[in-house]
Amino acid sequence: MKNLNAVPTKHAKLVAWVNEWASLCKPEGIYWCDGTQAEYDRLCNEMVESKLAIRLNAKKRPNSLLFRSDPSDVARVEARTFIAAANKDAAGPTNNWIDPVELKKTMRGLYDGCMQGRTMYVIPFSMGPVGSNIAKIGIEITDSPYVVANMEIMTRVGTKVLAVLGDNGEFVPCVHSVGKPLAPGESDNGIWPCAPMDKKYIAHFPETREIWSFGSGYGGNALLGKKCLALRIASVQARDEGWMAEHMLILKLTNPKGKVKYVTGAFPSACGKTNLAMLIPTLPGWKVETVGDDIAWMKFDEEGHLRAINPEAGFFGVAPGTSMKSNPNAMVSCSRDTIFTNVALTEDGDVWWEGIGYDAPGKLIDWKGNEYIPGKSEGKAAHPNARFTARAHNCPVIAKEWEDPKGVPVDAFLFGGRRPSTLPLVYQSMSWEHGVFIGSTVGSEVTAAVISDQIGQVRRDPFAMLPFCVYNMGDYFKHWLEIGKKPGAKLPKIFCVNWFRKTADGRFLWPGFGDNSRVLQWVFERCDGEGQANETAIGAMPTETAIDRKGIEDEVSDADMKALLTVDVDGWKKELSMIKEHYAKFGDRLPAALKAELDKLEARLAK
């Protein structure tokens, strides 16, 4: 096969790796991506011409495209996501383990000739600001121009990355194919290419730091800088190198006096993470700016501060439910220069989805390409996991520090889940070890809308990392505990929040959204050793007057506030038994310090 442009590097190991995979996959040619706007525009034009993409109305959505994926290829595929660690115990009880030798044999068979009739794109990308000492470099090879375009939004791509890599720098090798070779003269005919479900593999090799993906062209299965590198492979890199790769938002919080603090937060899905990252405060004089909405990489600086970068350069957001009411900043972010996938198309060339905040303007074309008449057609016009890929620099509240290579100093960690009962609105950990205990027990309560036979049960998602930690989570907890022992470390304060407490008749006790800034104010104050609090069995909790309710007194009564900030002893005693069951999964890999925290909590609740 031929090189379609000049090879832009003298990195012998990299060039040999690309050529080795090209020999196996047999593409028509190899193209090295440079990350320029001209390249992005050319690829987009080619996908429009081939009918894989639809160009949206330039006046309504400038420089934006719509794609429709195959109905079998609409989300991350957990059942086809594998952790090929050296042995099953290393992967731990929470991962889908598979033998690495057998898996590589199987996948090499699938890769043989898989790129026939297609171009192999080589994408040099940086996770984090190029040249940052916290950043990492990956190289993804793919036969999907859709993947290239999305990666050029979500990461920093091109020759500047190769310049930092040099002639012998370290990179994470990422291999991807849609798994649908083309015969001579054949084309996709505008149909999304992918392989059948039983041929899809998203494989991670922790020891060799490799990612192999086959058969899916969608989202985190194919954009290998996203969850695969930024969390899964980075989790083992962070463990071995003494830093942290976390599924966390990063926000900048400024008080009316101009004082700044940086807060990160880990939340399971459907808990308002992106909304919090782009929150518009209802408290006068307060300001929230976005550093990152999904992932935080953190290292200690020479002064002991834990500094965080957002390793991504864009937002890969869920469209349904996003509106000018729920998240106006996300709506502005995707108003231009955006790739939409599996949303509906309006008659005038704009996009629409359920929960966008206004009725559909007439007939639509749904995410499957069929005519859709609101109120008459069955199903949803947009897929529930429909996405927008938008550039972070288009976010109106992006913090000026978001690309600072040094990162931002983290003052507080927030952990939280969707808990209608038991957990209070907010409380602060008693120590770092107690904070790790809180993070290790994060979960969300199952409601009737999810799985009816599990109502009231709590699905645990420790640190919101359950799908993303590729090694034994007992050892992951240990890594968190060891971070707290670093000499001279100025550790962030740790808090648990719960915006989702309800009354017995199902009414939310707290309004959420912009009013969550009132809780952030208390967090801000506690980081400075201020903020009124009561010491309780579960941690430091605000007094009933510590959280500013000015303007929402009619929504949140004194009785509501008391309910939000009272320790539910009976509920917590039930919680203890659930935590014990959760911890039992980790056997002797559960750190003794966490068992001790559980015992201490039980003793405090018994008093």
| Contact in structure between 385 and 342 (CB atoms under 8 Å) | yes
- Rounded to an integer, what distance in angstroms lies between the CA atom of residue 75 and that of residue 211? 18
Instruction: State how far the Cα of 367 lies from the Cα of 381, in Å rounded to an integer.
Output: 6
Count Cβ neighbours within 10 Å for each residue of 464-503 and write b for 16 or more, e otherwise.
bbbbbbbbbbbbbbbbbbebeeeeeeebbbbbbbbbbbbe
Neighbouring residues of 66: CB distance < 8 A, sequence distance ≥ 6 = 53, 54, 56, 340, 341, 343, 345, 351
Residue whose tokens read 């962030």: 492
Tell me whether residue 174 is one of the annotated catalytic residues.
no
Q: What is the DSSP string of 413-432?
A: EEEE---SSSS-SEEE-SSH
Lookup result for tokens 């976390």: 246
Buried b or exposed e, range 399-420, using 16+ CB within 10 angstroms: bebbbeeebbbbbbbbbbbbbb
Strands 426-428, 344-346: pairing kind: unpaired
Q: Which residues 6+ apart lie within 8 Å of 48 measured at CB?
A: 54, 55, 65
What is the C-alpha separation between 152 and 37, in angstroms, rounded?
A: 9
Q: Which is nearest to 213 in space by CA: 175, 171, 179?
A: 175
CB 342 within 8 A of CB 69: yes
The distance from CA 167 to its chain's CA centroid, rounded to whole angstroms, is 32
Q: 279 by DSSP, 3-state: which?
A: coil
By CB atoms closer than 10 A (0-12, 13-18, 19+), residue 92 is buried
> 151 and 225 in contact (C-beta within 8 Å)?
yes
Which backbone phi and psi does 490 adopt, to 5 degrees? -100, 90
> What whole-number distance in Å separates Cα of residue 356 and Cα of residue 371?
19
Of 340, 404, 402, 337, whose CA–CA distance to 153 is shortest? 337
Which of 271, 395, 496, 527 is labelled catalytic? 271
Our CA angle for 173, 152, 226, nearest 5°, is 55
Residues sharing a CB contact under 8 Å with residue 93, sequence separation 6 or more, in sequence order: 472, 473, 585, 586
Catalytic residues: 271
